[in-house]
Amino acid sequence: MTRIADLELLVRIADLGNLTAAAKALDWSPAAASAALKRMEEQLGVPLFVRSTRSLRLSAEGQRYLPHARAALRALTEGRDEALAGREALEGELHLTVPSDLGRHVLLPWLEQFQERHPVLTLRLQIGDPLTDLLRRPVDAAVRYGPPSGGSHVALPLLPDCRRVLVAAPHYLALRGTPASPEDLSRHEALRYLVADEVPTHWPVEIAGAAVALPLSGRRVADDGEVVKRWALAGLGLAYKSWPDVAQELASGQLIHVNPHWRGDLAPLNLIVPGRAQLSPALRSVRDELRRRLETFAEAMPR
Give whichever of 27-31, 49-53, 109-113, 213-217 has the largest mean pLDDT.
Answer: 213-217
Looking at residue 21, the DSSP 8-state letter turns out to be H
Average pLDDT, the chain: 84
pLDDT in the model for residue 132: 57
Tell me which range, 106-115, 151-160, 277-286, is most confidently predicted by mean pLDDT: 106-115
| Res. 150: pLDDT tops 60 | no
Q: Please report the pLDDT score of residue 77 as a whole number.
A: 66
Q: How confident is the model over 1-16, as a mean pLDDT?
A: 80
The number of residues making up the chain comes to: 303
Section 157-166 average pLDDT: 90
Grade residue 142 by pLDDT with cuts at 50, 70 and 90.
confident
Exposure b/e, 56-88, CB count within 10 A at least 16 = b: bebbeebeebbeebbeebeeebeeeeeeeeeee
pLDDT at 135 over 60: no
For residue 32, is pLDDT > 60? yes
pLDDT at 51 over 90: no
Q: What is the mean pLDDT of residues 68-80?
A: 76
DSSP annotation of 86: T
| Choice among 35-44, 104-113, 127-136, 168-177 with the minimum mean pLDDT | 127-136
User: What does DSSP assign to residue 46?
Assistant: S
At residue 87, the pLDDT reads 47
User: What does the pLDDT read at residue 303?
Assistant: 74
Task: Count CB neighbours of 275 within 10 A.
Answer: 11
Q: Where are the alpha helices (DSSP H) in 57-194?
A: 60-84, 100-102, 108-117, 170-176
What's the rounded Cα separation, in Å, for the pair 267 and 294? 14
CA neighbor of 191 nearest in space, from 237, 243, 250, 258:
237
Q: What is the C-alpha R_g of the chain?
A: 20
* Cβ atoms of residues 6 and 72 within 8 Å: no
- Given a cut of 90, whether residue 273 has pLDDT beyond it is no
Higher pLDDT among residues 27 and 9, named by residue:
9
CA 124 to chain centroid, in Å, comes to 22
- Rounded Cα distance between 157 and 291, Å, is 8
More confident: 271 or 152? 271
pLDDT for the residue numbered 148: 63
Question: What is the rounded distance in angstroms from the CA atom of residue 129 to the CA atom of residue 17?
Answer: 29
Q: Cα–chain-centroid distance for residue 46?
A: 30
pLDDT at 86 over 50: no
pLDDT at 54 over 70: no
Find the Cα–Cα–Cα–Cα dihedral 213, 244, 300, 302, rounded to 10°.
10
pLDDT given for residue 229 in this prediction? 96
Q: What is the pLDDT of residues 191-239, one digit of tens each?
A: 999 877 789 999 999 999 899 999 999 999 998 999 999 999 999 999 9
pLDDT higher than threshold 80 for residue 153: no
pLDDT at 221: 95
The neighbouring-strand residues paired with 98 are 127
